[in-house]
Amino acid sequence: MVAGQRLKEARKKANLTQVELANIIGVKAAEISQYESNKRTPRWPAFNKLLDALNITADEVLGREVTVQDDDDYIVKLAKEDLQILSNIKANPKLYKTLLADPERTVQVINKNLKTVIPEIDD
């Protein structure tokens, strides 16, 4: 997921239209549309106003990290996409056990055979 999609999700979560958000931060609605479609990047003042208006952090918009904390107060920071990948791996018990047993070898095998399994992937 890219920054524009995250902004759009945050705007919708805040129950704001593009016009309403534009009015709050002092830009035209067309600019909000361009930010959300990744056709334009907001300048710092507008970006800061977006963060405040949507009550999100720059890290959240950029997909830089998510804090995961377990019962032992162990904290790990991951990108949301990384967390999604890990969740999908864990949801596949056979793959999870194989990766857990020998992660380096399993990744090498997957990487070696990736082009065969998914031909549209470029090297």
Note the pLDDT of residue 67. 63
Annotated domain spans of the chain: 3-62, 92-123
CATH superfamily, with its number, for domain 3-62:
lambda repressor-like DNA-binding domains (1.10.260.40)
Identify whether the C-beta of residue 50 lies closer than 8 Å to the C-beta of residue 25.
yes
Note the pLDDT of residue 69. 63
Q: What is the pLDDT of residues 27-48, one digit of tens each?
A: 999 999 999 999 999 999 999 9
Identify whether the C-beta of residue 78 lies closer than 8 Å to the C-beta of residue 86.
yes
Helix (H, G, I), strand (E, B) or coil at 66: strand
List 69's β-bridge partners, or say none.
75
Write the burial class of residue 118 (CB in 10 Å: 0-12 exposed, 13-18 middle, 19+ buried).
Answer: exposed
Note the pLDDT of residue 1. 54
End-to-end CA separation in angstroms for the chain: 21
Q: State how far the Cα of 116 lies from the Cα of 32, in Å rounded to an integer.
A: 41
| Residue 82: other Cβ atoms inside 10 A | 14
Note the pLDDT of residue 85. 86
pLDDT < 50 regions, the chain = none
Note the pLDDT of residue 22. 95
